[in-house]
Each structure stands twice: as structure tokens, then as C-alpha cells.
Amino acid sequence: MSLKETKKLETNRYQLEILIDGERFREAIKDAYRKNGKKINVPGFRKGKAPLHIIETYYGAEVFFEDALNLLYNDVVEEAITESGIKVIDDKMDFDLVSISKEDGVDFKVSLTTYPELKLKKYKGLKAERQPVKVEAKEITAELKSLAERNARMILVEDRAAQKGDTVVIDFEGFVDNKAFEGGKAEGHSLELGSGQFIPGFEDQIIGHNIDDQFDVNVQFPKEYGAEDLAGKDAVFKVKLHEIKIRELPEIDDEFAKDVSEFDTLKEFKADLKKKALERKEKAADEAVENELVSQIVEGIEGEIPEAMFEKRLNQSVEEFAYRLQTQGMDFDTYLKYTGSSIDDFKKNFRPQAEMQVKYRLALEKIVELEDIKADEEALEAEYKKLAEGYGVTVDKVKAAIPQSEVEKDVAVGMAIDFVKANAIITEATEVKSSDRETKSAEKKTAVKKSTAATKKASTAKKAPAKKGADKE
């Protein structure tokens, strides 16, 4: 193989003209014959037994050209890319055949998209303000209450009717126009009354009923319901109430601390919770500073980023989201169906996030290049260990699965963030007023909700037509 020409077509778009010499091409033709010749019939020969020159005479000299080129294509293109020194985004490329013959070999062109040629306005001497962190007593109290909720016992109630907040165990079967519908039946189903888990009106009609009661629940499916055959229709559910339960919370004392932690006293446990909460807040404050600094760098990026990079990141987002759904027992197609959305809608929602992720990475990679940042052996080993712990496998398995070059890139990018911080002017903010802090916290939560809207939809997607949302854990 020889790289005949590297030609820039437009911004982030290059064309490579590649030559495969006759000798290499003829060897590939022989390989193609050995692989596919057994499938070919030639009069006077048993199937697959005709010599190469006979097949070429009978079917034409070019009979194995396409197969031979396919055998060589990936290797020669990869060789040409390496020789050209360009950095390719992905393997999607346009192919144009110039000439092909058994004697002279192959001459062809490929057009491909390359990494953008970017400039950064500024990445040294940036300014950021680090917010002070503090853990208040009410936060620890709230965390203890949450732990108590998770460790609550379910107690049977037999002397009264079901109330809002109770958990009931029921059998139910739904009917529309006197016909049972798919997904509308369950036995021994646990339901917290007032949770909004089922469609409007369902849970309210269980309140007031006693154990062993059998009764009808009359509801109407919402007009925007995910299953079109049920949307807007009246339904009757035949319900039998088996059990009524209430949650009994444990006392938050030394015994509670022993049950839920490694500590013997509540005082020790509270101190540990406070320490860990402070560590989390310190980390969050550091990450906020990093994000602010990198955001400033991103704003100063000069250059055109190929659409292919954003599309690639969006496809990765789809794969990651689909995997998270799978861990929750739902596939991506079902999620789209019950949320009434499409893959294009999903990508549109994730587009701003994907764009920022691409820009962040490119900015940091550019700093790695400009400052000649390289990962040392110690940092590489630490990253391999971290990955191994995350995947729950040995370091050797991680090294076998992930190319070292990729790990080196990730480590270098992390070092670039450290470089930016080390060369930035970071000041500690003064303590903000309580009201200001609460306002900023509320604004932050709103922003998080907007950016994770699709994720929230996944946790509330329908699993059965009778339900408004997925079963809560």
C-alpha cells in the first residue's frame, strides 16, 4: 500500500488516495479464491474444484476483484490514515474507485471526517469562586430519618379500613367494554395508597375498604395514555383486598445505630454521617469550580466541530440510557412506546448535554496537546485499578480489554483539568445568607431536573396499562 495523496476538501474533511500494488492485490485474489471459489460452478468441474484461471476465463478476470479488495480494505485504509497523520473521528467514509486491474492493482479514494482544528482563547489565569461548605444538624437529622424509613417494618392492620398512606395487597383485573385487556391483571400486588402509582382515581377507591372486601374500581384512562387502545376509555377493575399494612419506624437511638452501621452509639454514627456529608460537599464544590473553569475555556473555543462528533456522543447517550433501562427491567423500545416519544425526540432532549460533553473533552484534549501533558506509569496504574474496582474484575482483565492508549488519553485529560486549576485564580466565597443559599439550591435543583428530564421519565415509565408509573422500589 502507498498513500498517493492527502487532500483537504473542506473544514474537518479530508480525502486520501490509496494505491494497492499489483502483487499484493494478486495475492488477495488468491485468498478470495480459496475462500469463495468452492461456491462456484464451472461446467466440466465438480462444484468448487475449478482452478482459479479457469474460473477467471469463464466468469471474467474481475470475478474476485470485489472480494479481494474487501479483504484488503480495512488494513490499507488504516495504514493510509496512520501515514497521513490525520486523526479520524469514526469509520464512516465515502469510497470512490479510480482504477482496478490484476496487473496494476487498485487505485481508490476515501473521504473521511477528521477531528476539528481548534484554538483556545484562554486557559491560564482563569477566575472562579469556590463556595463554602457546611453540614447543618438538620441535614444529619434528615438522613437519619431517611435511614429509618428504609429500615421500617410493615405491620399488618386488621381492625380498620384502608387509609391513605397504607400499603395494601390486592388482586385486580381490568376490563374495557366488558373485555379483559392485556397487562391489566395482577395477584398479590403491593400498592401504597396515595403514591400515585396507578392511574387517577384507582387508589382513592380502595380507601375505606376492609380485608377480604371484593369491589369494583371505576376509572377513566387519561387521553394521553401511552397505550392507544386504552387512552381515554372507561375501565372497570375487579379488586380483592387481602392485606392492609402500615410502616412502623424504628427508634433512632444507639440500638438503631448498631443495626444500620458499624458504630455502637448514635453519637458516633452521627459524627461519621457528618464527616461523609462534608466530604461529599467538598468534592461537589471542587467539581463546581472545575466545571466553571472548563466552561470558560469552552466559551473561548475557536473552530468548527463536525456534526459527526455530536451524533456519535448522542448515540453513546442512547446506549447508556438503554443500558440503565435494562437494569430496571425495561427495554428502550418499550420506554419510547409508553412515553409516546421517538428516538429523534430522545436525541433532541439530550442534544445540549451531548454538545457540552464533546466540547469539554475537545477543550481538555487541546490543552493536553498544547502543554504536552503525558500520563506517567503511576497514574496509569492508578486508573487501571480504579477501572478494575468499578467493573469488579482484575487489573489484568481491564488491561486486556481496554487499549493502553485510551487509558492514557483519559488520564491526560484528568491531568489537564488539574493543570487548569493550578493555573487559575480560585477564591473562597464568603458565607452566603441562608435565604440566598436556599434560593441558589432551588435554582440548581430546577436546572438538574431540566437536564435529567428523560432520565426521570425512565423511572416513571409504564410497565402495565393499569399503572400510571413503574412499580416503585
CB 328 within 8 A of CB 470: yes
Cα distance between residue 296 and residue 298, in whole Å: 5
Partner residues linked to 109 by β-bridges:
17, 96
Cα distance between residue 358 and residue 97, in whole Å: 34
SS3 assignment, position 161? coil
Q: Which pLDDT does position 6 carry in this prediction?
A: 94
> Residue 408: which of 367, 365, 451 has the closest Cα?
365
Per CATH, the number for 2-115 is 3.30.70.1050
CA torsion angle 143 271 153 195 (round to 10): 0
Cα distance between residue 15 and residue 100, in whole Å: 19
> Residue 324: which of 131, 436, 461, 162 has the closest Cα?
461
Q: How far is CA 307 from the centre of its chain?
A: 19
Instruction: Collect the ranges in the chain with pLDDT lower than 50.
Output: 433-473
Q: Which pLDDT does position 431 carry in this prediction?
A: 66
Place of cell 479464491: 33
Q: Integer distance in angstroms from the first to the last C-alpha of the chain?
A: 59
Q: Which pLDDT does position 326 carry in this prediction?
A: 87
With 0.85 as the threshold, say if the pTM is over it: no
CA torsion angle 289 294 300 306 (round to 10): -150
* Amino acid (1-letter code) at residue 115: Y
Which secondary-structure segment (H or E) carries 88? strand 88-101
Cα distance between residue 65 and residue 55, in whole Å: 13
Count other C-beta atoms under 10 Å from residue 33's C-beta: 21
Residue 184, phi then psi, degrees to nearest 5: -105, 20
Angle at 415 between CA 412 and CA 420, to 5 degrees: 130
Q: Which residues, including other chains, have CB under 8 Å from residue 155's CB and lie 6 or more apart?
A: 245, 246, 247, 248
> Residue 89: which of 122, 111, 105, 61 has the closest Cα?
111
Q: Which residues, including other chains, have CB under 8 Å from residue 61's CB and lie 6 or more apart?
A: 102
Angle at 105 between CA 101 and CA 106, to 5 degrees: 90
Domain segments of the chain as ranges: 2-115, 153-248, 264-459
Radius of gyration of the chain (CA): 32
Cα distance between residue 374 and residue 404, in whole Å: 13
Q: Which pLDDT does position 89 carry in this prediction?
A: 86
Q: Number of helices (H) and strands (E), helices first, in the chain? A: 14, 13
Q: Which residues, including other chains, have CB under 8 Å from residue 23's CB and lie 6 or more apart?
A: 105
Residue 402: Cβ-neighbour burial (10 angstroms; 0-12, 13-18, 19+): middle
The CATH architecture annotation of domain 153-248 reads Roll (3.10)
* Amino acid (1-letter code) at residue 235: A
CB 15 within 8 A of CB 98: no
CB 368 within 8 A of CB 417: no
Q: Which pLDDT does position 390 carry in this prediction?
A: 86
How many residues are given for the chain? 473
Count other C-beta atoms under 10 Å from residue 293's C-beta: 20
CATH superfamily membership of 264-459? Trigger factor, C-terminal domain (1.10.3120.10)
